[in-house]
A = this chain, B = another copy of it.
Amino acid sequence: MKIIVVGANGTIGTAVSKELESNGHEVVKVGRNSGDYQMDMTNIEDIKLMFEQIKEVDAVISTAGAANFDDLSELTPESNEVAVMSKLLGQINLVLIGQHYINEGGSFTLTTGVIMDDPIKGGVSSAMAGGGINAFVQSAAYELKRNLRINNVSPNVIEEALEDYGDFFKGYTAVPASKAAKAYLKSVEGIQTGQTYRVYE
């Protein structure tokens, strides 16, 4: 299959691309400033242009999405916008626009994270985006046409990212990126839709 991976240069995206390639898929690596194609998913026109330029796509995977990690007492409507525009709407707009472009029988796989279920200090904005994605995926699956499917992968903190994020996730079970990557492969190659794959241990 020809598969777009948005965020292919990130910790999860790198592992997902490797897993897909080792299973014989063609991966188009998309990033803001890296990869085969550059695209800013907070920009609706950028997303449209990507789907007009990268044709005959069978699957879209997003492992991208930014959010501020402010304590709630310092979180403002303005600082919350980062998660809204990127992690929430960036990923959702890939689906709203992409549903009209990708091949029949294709799939979307989005990404959230453990903190939507298991909160950490400063994680409110990210949790909000994750909860929104989770409900979107569950609902959208019933309405997608042309046998399109949609799933979500929600990993625990990633082992390779512990140096940067470990202090936020004390006591959490880190999972290797290669293990999380299996859930994306399952979403792409499987029959399921509307699911959130929780890779929490």
**Does A166 count as interface, using CB distance less than 8 angstroms?**
no
Q: Pick the contact of A77: B89, B135, B142 (CB < 8 A).
A: B89
B131 pairs with A72, CB closer than 8 A: no
A119 pairs with B145, CB closer than 8 A: no
Counting chain A residues whose Cβ lies within 8 A of the other chain, the interface size class is 35 or more
Kindly specify which of A55-63, A91-99, A183-191 makes contact with the partner chain: A91-99
A127 to B84, CA, bound (A): 15
A127 to B142, CA, bound (A): 13
Q: A interface vs B, CB < 8 Å?
A: 44, 71-73, 75-78, 80, 84, 88-89, 92-93, 96-97, 99-100, 115-116, 119, 121-124, 127-136, 138-140, 142-145
